Structure 1
Amino acid sequence: MKILALDISASPGVAVIEIKRNRPKLLYVDSVKTDTKFSDSQRYSYIEAFAIKAIHEYGPFDAVVREKYTGTSRSKRAKQLVYGAWAAIDMALGKYGYSIDEKDEIVASAIKKAVSGKGTADKEEVADGVRRILGEDIEFKSDDASDAVAVALTYALLNGLIKEESENGR
């Protein structure tokens, strides 16, 4: 099974994991930082191209998932940027016949709890949990990259596709 996972912001992260024999393998992880010197339309085009590259090079996928965006405690401008990035990624997914159902969106606290053991984990605790589950000492380009992997692993854990390392004997 191959999962495409997205952590969407104005600087989104993308991850692809493959699951064989209940074990996750990270195939791809990256993030892109958009620059405020460019217009919003240019930033969104860049995000769309970034998503298309991952979808084109690593598809097809059995599942496409993302962190659920709630927009709480953010400025109007921050929300606008996230919604624009969200739409750009949806356009990229649509070009390859993918869409994301609400059931394939996972709230941040569930992601944090699944990979770190606590729903209030900080970014470094999430990255450490991802490393522990994968059994690899990965250096992530950004928090968005590690968060995207966390989304994929959470989906796999919640759907019984993988088990925690203690249960796998790793």
Structure 2
Amino acid sequence: MRILGVDPGIATVGFAVLDAEKRSQRLLTCGVITTPAKTQLSSRLDQIYRDLNELIAQFHPEVMAVEELFFNTNITTGIAVAHGRGIILLSGYQAGLQIYEYTPLQVKQAVVGYGRADKKQVMDMVRRILSLQAVPKPDDAADAVAIALCHARSATSLIHQQERFDPCSTT
């Protein structure tokens, strides 16, 4: 299965493309989509949309894993990020991808085994799981890799396998 992991943002959107089969995962690419500061929101959203569509066309992922929003201090920034997240979901939907959403707690649990792990622990486990020489940079790209890994690990679980064949499932 080819997974496009996305860490939503407006100034910086992290992305990662990961191939996953059972207990084996391989990182194909990761990076960031950036939009210039002091640019109109609509222009930034257009840039994210076009760049994400280009990634989808180039790598042909089967699924998209996106982190759910978490913000507690700056609601204005949170609203802008929510706009970006909407564009990301739209892009995946229009490409016909199955879209899965994960909370930061779920990502940490899947990658580290502990939902309250700190960022350094998550990044170190990303490096170890994928046998990388170094943690992916910048942080937004590394976060997207962790999100893709989260989906790879949950998609191969027995629970997910059983849900996939349940005709009454809501997933």
Q: Which bracket does the TM-score occupy, shorter chain normalised? A: 0.7 to 0.9
Question: In percent, how many aligned pairs have the same letter?
Answer: 31
Q: Following TM superposition, by how much is the alpha carbon of 1:129 offset from its aligned partner in structure 2, in angstroms?
A: 1.0
Which of residues 144, 154, 160 in structure 2 aligns to 1:148? 144
If the length of structure 2 is used for normalisation, what is the TM-score? 0.81
Paired residue type of 1:91? L
In the other structure, the counterpart of 1:109 is 105
In the other structure, the counterpart of 1:134 is 130
Distance 1:113 1:60, change over 3 A: closer
Paired residue type of 1:95? Q
Paired residue type of 1:147? D
Q: Following TM superposition, by how much is the alpha carbon of 1:99 offset from its aligned partner in structure 2, in angstroms?
A: 5.3
Tell me if 1:125 matches 2:121.
yes
Deviations 1:58-117 (A, max 9, x none): 0041x2211122x440322112111110122123223322352xxx21110121122223
Instruction: Check whether the contact 2:126–2:135 (CA below 8 A) recurs between aligned residues.
Output: no
Tell me if 1:45 matches 2:46.
yes
Q: Following TM superposition, by how much is the alpha carbon of 1:148 offset from its aligned partner in structure 2, in angstroms?
A: 0.8
Distance 1:49 1:141, change over 3 A: farther
Deviations 1:141-163 (A, max 9, x none): 311111111111111212336xx
In the other structure, the counterpart of 1:160 is 156
Q: Can you give the 5+ residue segments of structure 1 that lack an aligned partner in the other structure?
A: 162-170
The residue correspondences of 1:12-23 to structure 2 (distance < 5 A) are: 12-20=13-21, 22-23=23-24
Q: Following TM superposition, by how much is the alpha carbon of 1:140 offset from its aligned partner in structure 2, in angstroms?
A: 2.2
In the other structure, the counterpart of 1:32 is 33
Distance 1:138 1:54 in 2: 23
If the length of structure 1 is used for normalisation, what is the TM-score? 0.82
In the other structure, the counterpart of 1:77 is 76
Distance 1:153 1:60 in 2: 14
Paired residue type of 1:9? G
Distance 1:159 1:90 in 2: 19
Q: Can you give the 5+ residue segments of structure 2 that lack an aligned partner in the other structure?
A: 158-171
